[in-house]
Amino acid sequence: MLGMTACVKDTCKQKHTYTYFEAVYKTEEAVRANIKSNPARSVETPGKIYTLGKYIFLNEIDKGIHIIDNNNPSQPRNIFFIDVPGNLDIAVKGNTLYADLYTDLVAIDISNPASVKVEKIIDGIFPDRYYGNGFVRGANNDQIITDWVKKETTVTEDCDQQGGGWIGGRTDVFMSASNNMLGGAKASSPVGTGGSMARFTIMNDRLYTVNSSALDVFDISDANNPKRTNTVNIGWGIETIYPFRNKLFIGSQSGMFIYDATNADVPAASGQFSHATSCDPVIADDEYAYVTLRSGTACQGFSNQLDIVKLNNISNPVLQKTYTMKNPHGLSKDGDLLFICDGEAGLKIYNAANVMNLKLINEISDIDTYDVITMNKIALVVAKDGLYQYSYANLPNIRLLSKINVSK
């Protein structure tokens, strides 16, 4: 019996086929030289959005920024692409665009969209990016990941081996079981508008950025020459930042933090609202903060809801009412209209005149939504399959104006 068992163990082999993504590197010098107005490219993995004047700036996750001429919202034109590897966040003041290049902050002159140029790069501002989004330096520490190439391999393993994981412990190759795919993971110059999922925002001639645990402050009174003036430690799980009046509303996985930015370089903690562990974008008006909580792997929790928080005592925000949602992400408000991106459940528009009794006016249920910006009676909606623009001038008859499709 023992002999037979040993024989079976020695000969039990099984084959596993894996899909893996191998890093493509370029030198830091080559990457920085390519931060310019390159030809427009198809949208593949849309991320965060920012708008100023007639232009839309749409993040291509970890790749760069699409410049879209939106002079005619019914016929937007994708005109240029700025290659910024590792880019997730953007903000614009006047003719300067600020973007993250993995760990670095880049200031880009966009006065001529056909010929943008780098004005300044500050190294190592976002150190936590070393541990997220697949970023790792090349062997000589002078190379940066610019893309991931999908490959497949078949290996033979003993029956008791576990499949999946990282190839040979390498940190530049991501590998998963076959058929699994890597996830997508007020100043003198005009300031644009960002979505509620933003980690960059501009107020009082300052650029405020958040990472997983801290708030960084940059003086951008000289727009092309940002200077970091302060770092404020907040806590863990920080996700988003939203400006209103002289306040910064910061969303985290455990709650909402309110910072008073009257002293622009020294934001001071002035209030906090705690909630169950969950992803947490937030917006605000004069009376209330609107907080969406959602579940998911990165968010840990199981809550899917809208919390409306009363702000009459800013040092002690109080939960006013909770509404159940499907899987809410970004949100925006225009007067009494509240727009919520409810993930696969689509875009929902509420009359929020009475926060104790939100009334659903309309919903667009055939899109998987991520974030929304509303202005001039137009809703810009980033969805899994593209960038939508809707006119809501005549509610409840919301009308699709245009769509820039994601390339399949």
Q: Please answer whether residues 320 and 356 qualify as being in contact, where contact means their C-beta atoms are separated by less than 8 angstroms.
A: yes
How many Å is the maximal CA-CA distance in the chain?
86
The Cα 320–Cα 289 span in angstroms is 10
The Cα 337–Cα 211 span in angstroms is 30
Q: What is the CA radius of gyration of the chain?
A: 23
CB atoms within 10 A of CB 193: 18
State how far the alpha carbon of 58 is from the alpha carbons of 103, 336, 356, in Å: 20, 27, 35
The Cα 373–Cα 383 span in angstroms is 12
The Cα 108–Cα 261 span in angstroms is 25
The Cα 315–Cα 300 span in angstroms is 27
The Cα 18–Cα 154 span in angstroms is 6
CA 336 to chain centre: 26
CB atoms within 10 A of CB 282: 27
- Stated length of the chain: 408
The Cα 285–Cα 147 span in angstroms is 40
Q: Given this model, what pLDDT does residue 278 score?
A: 63
Q: Given this model, what pLDDT does residue 192 score?
A: 80
The Cα 379–Cα 376 span in angstroms is 8
pTM for the full predicted model? 0.84
10-residue averages of pLDDT along the chain (408 residues): 45 69 82 94 95 96 96 98 95 96 95 97 82 49 74 68 41 39 39 89 96 94 97 90 95 90 97 75 94 74 88 92 94 96 96 97 94 95 96 93 93
Residues whose CB falls within 8 Å of the CB of residue 255, separated by 6 or more in sequence, listed in order: 272, 273, 274, 275, 280
Q: Where are the beta strands (DSSP E) in 199-353?
A: 200-203, 206-210, 214-219, 227-233, 238-244, 247-252, 255-260, 268-274, 282-284, 288-293, 305-310, 318-324, 331-334, 337-341, 347-351
